[in-house]
Amino acid sequence: MNTPQSPSLICTELTKRFGSTTVIDNVSLALPAGQVTALVGPSGAGKTTLLNLLSGLEKPSRGTVSAPSRSERGFIFQDYNLLEAMTAADNALVSARLLGRRVPRRWVRELFDDLGLHGLERRLPHQLSGGQQQRVTIARVLLADVPYIFADEPTGALDPQSTEVVLTHLRQAADAGAVVVLVTHQDETLHIADRVLTVGGGAVREAAHVH
């Protein structure tokens, strides 16, 4: 894991407004390295907005956030964002290559096998199912070996077996020192979380401990 000295995320009095609607209101958080933080709440509550603010993808209306640099962060989006002209394996290696990191092809094969993508390395995105594309996106983040991972419904298109494999990898990334923040609607994903935050009404509240 290529981690900064003490990776963490700190936001202070974070507020985000869209027109007259306040989605995130005066939120202060500290998310330490080595932990998985899950953001839960009903649809439209502001979970993805908070994720985007913490990652630096969106700017707050007020407040500050110690967002990581582009080279330190990895994203697992709901819409996958794969490059159509590239194979699954090359898509998985995009971020690592942009960061100048050498990844042996053997690592790609082993990770693809573990994620249930055996034999699909040379497939193009349109030749993959939604769940397979999502796992390629997850492989891309894991191979980049970044210290901050932001995941928006990372298991939404996966079956239970694939879900557990992906969650195990995210847990391992945190155990290796990463800050992992994930948005989820699925209670079965919460067992890997050290902390669960409920988002709604502009506020962020600590949920009961999950372990």
pLDDT in tens, 70-111: 899 999 988 889 999 999 999 999 999 999 999 999 999 999
- pLDDT single digits (tens) 141-193: 999 999 999 999 999 889 999 999 999 999 999 999 999 999 998 888 999 99
- Domain(s) labelled CATH 3.40.50.300 in the chain stretch across 7-68+147-211
Distances in whole angstroms, Cα of residue 202 to Cα of each of 14, 50, 54, 181, 199: 10, 10, 15, 18, 7
Measured distance CA(185)–CA(15) in Å, rounded: 23
CATH number of 7-68+147-211: 3.40.50.300
pLDDT above 50 (res 37): yes
Judged on CB neighbours under 10 Å (0-12, 13-18, 19+), 100 is exposed
| Residue 21 neighbours by CB under 8 Å, 6+ apart | none
Determine the 3-state secondary structure of 92 from DSSP.
helix
Dihedrals φ, ψ of 37, to 5°?
A: -110, 125
Position 210 scores a pLDDT of 54
Nearest to 204 by CA among 6, 10, 29, 7: 29
Q: Give the whole-number percent of the chain exceeding pLDDT 70.
A: 95
